[in-house]
Amino acid sequence: MIKPSLSHDVCLFGSKFLSQGIIVVISIALGSASVAVFSTIRTLSNMAKQPLMIVSLAFWGEFTKLLKNKALVIKLFNLANSLQY
């Protein structure tokens, strides 16, 4: 049980690191006013994808449990896609 949850945590940490890393780069390259504009636009655009992310994150733990069984991962992936679109 530790290994799937650790895999899930590492993926989430990487995602958060990438999103915050962009803000640091924009701050250094373009200044704080650009960070405010970028963050506002990103927040508004992320609101549109939140319903899809709710479904996606609900399946993520199951994907990490099934990594060794490719057939079940494909089946779960197809089920998740049919629910999202």
DSSP state of 15: H
Check whether 85 has a pLDDT greater than 60. no
Rounded to whole angstroms, the Cα distance separating 35 from 25 reads 9
CB 17 within 8 A of CB 74: no
Task: Give one word for 69, left, alpha or beta, with left for phi > 0 and alpha for psi -120 to 50.
Answer: beta
Q: Record the pTM.
A: 0.48
How does pLDDT run across 11-29, given as a tens digit for each residue? 788 878 877 888 988 999 9
62 pLDDT band, cuts 50/70/90, is confident
Q: Compute the average pLDDT of residues 48-69.
A: 78
**3-class SS at 66?**
coil
